[in-house]
Amino acid sequence: MRKLSAIALLVFLLLAFASFTEAQTVQGVVTGTIFDSTGAVLPGADVTLTNVDTNISQHEKSGADGLYRFSLVPPGNYRLDVKAGGFNEKQITGIKVDPSETKPVNVTLAVATSSTTVDVQESAVLVQTATSDVATTVNQTTITSIPLLTRNVFDLAFAAPAVTQGMNFNAAAGGARESGTTNMLNGADNNDNFGEGGYNVQPPLESVSEFTVLTNNMNAEYGHAAGALVSAVQKSGTNRFHGVLYEFNRNTDFNASTFFDNRAGNPNPQYIRNQYGGEVDGPIIKNRTFFMFTYDRLDLHQGNTNVVQVPTPSELSAIQNTAGTVAQQYLKGVSAKDVHGVVPGRSRQPAGRRRTHWLSQPI
């Protein structure tokens, strides 16, 4: 009985989590109206949307108003096939669906005179008429080729219009504070609740398929975002195997020295940064199940030059002469001859020996 209760509780939690994550989704929407050659709406048409990379299809019928709608469309490249009795079949290719995007695709079917299929290449939408969202989308090619110093995909949010850097150096948009920015990863909440505008998980750059920033009038499904919605979607694999290995190195060879290091004649502090890893994706069961695996590692060896203000001999003497009893115990035996942590005095108190290495002659 206990085992059955535990299983029931587990199933309930999984369903609850699934419904929660679905409330904020990065799935796109493909919608439109089917017309005949006279401009009248065409109800009952068979509409099939197929992902050309995975060959997974979704099916709908146009309603009495000729409208069809695919509400949960994973980002990717698609083909739309439309059929209706007495009309030529029409195929529209080159449909690119971005995360959180509503893609309008209206279709006009001609009366059939023979068995004919019409192929149409989808063109870019110049004016978005299906939604009031203002979206900036960065595709995978740009993500992997753009020079990102930290290789952090969330830095791309600053490429969107009206997005600026807030007080915590995170993205802020539309005059709102950083706390009005929502970060999402694969449709799930990715907000750092302990910092304004921060995120919890930074995915490896090579694993990200697309990146979208919504900055105006987002759909109510997102919530929370008074300023901007920053959404990253990772790859899910296709019917073809794909992999990549990478390594990025930064070191002191081309780094300029700081003002204080130059003044003191010090060499550049050590700085060796290696970021390396790989990504592989492909089919497990063709047309049905896919995988993606990525590994990313960052090794950083960094030295620092610290500039510390120390008292001059006259200032040190004044401090010793005016110090109270407790302070004199700390400063007992300190002299301006102590340079770079050399403490010669056996007569020093233990507390003084631990702390007087902080004092040295000024440069």
Structure tokens at 88: 């030529």
Q: Look up residue 5 and give its DSSP letter.
A: H
According to the model, what pLDDT value does residue 119 have? 64
Q: Which helix (H) or strand (E) holds 247?
A: strand 242-250
Domains of the chain and CATH, by start: 2-121 (2.60.40.1120), 135-234 (2.170.130.10), 242-302 (no CATH), 313-358 (no CATH)
What token pair was written down for 358? 């902080």
Q: What pLDDT is recorded for position 343?
A: 42
CA–CA separation, 310 vs 63, rounded Å? 81
- Cα–Cα distance for residue pair 206/236, rounded to 1 Å: 12
SS3 272: strand
Query: For the residues of 72-128, what is the DSSP string, one character each?
Result: EE-SEEEEEEEE-TTB-EEEEEEEEE-TT-EEE--EEEPBPSSS-EEEEEPPPPSS-
| Alpha-carbon gap, residue 205 to 213, rounded angstroms | 16
Q: Output the pLDDT for position 346.
A: 44
* pLDDT tens for the chain, residues 1 to 363: 566 666 655 555 444 444 334 444 578 899 999 999 889 999 999 999 999 989 999 999 999 999 999 988 988 899 999 999 888 899 999 898 888 788 899 999 988 876 666 666 665 555 666 666 777 888 888 888 888 888 899 988 888 888 888 888 888 887 888 888 888 898 888 888 887 888 889 999 999 988 888 887 677 777 776 788 888 888 888 899 999 999 999 888 888 888 888 887 888 888 899 999 999 999 999 888 999 999 999 999 988 877 777 777 787 778 777 878 777 777 766 655 444 444 444 444 454 444 444 455 554
Helix (H, G, I), strand (E, B) or coil at 187: coil
Task: For residue 66, report the phi and psi dihedrals to the nearest 5 degrees.
Answer: 80, 0
Nearest in space to 356 (alpha carbons), one of 331, 336, 323, 328: 331
Residue 36 corresponds to which tokens in the numbers above? 């005949």
Based on its alpha-carbon atoms, the radius of gyration of the chain, rounded to whole angstroms, reads 31
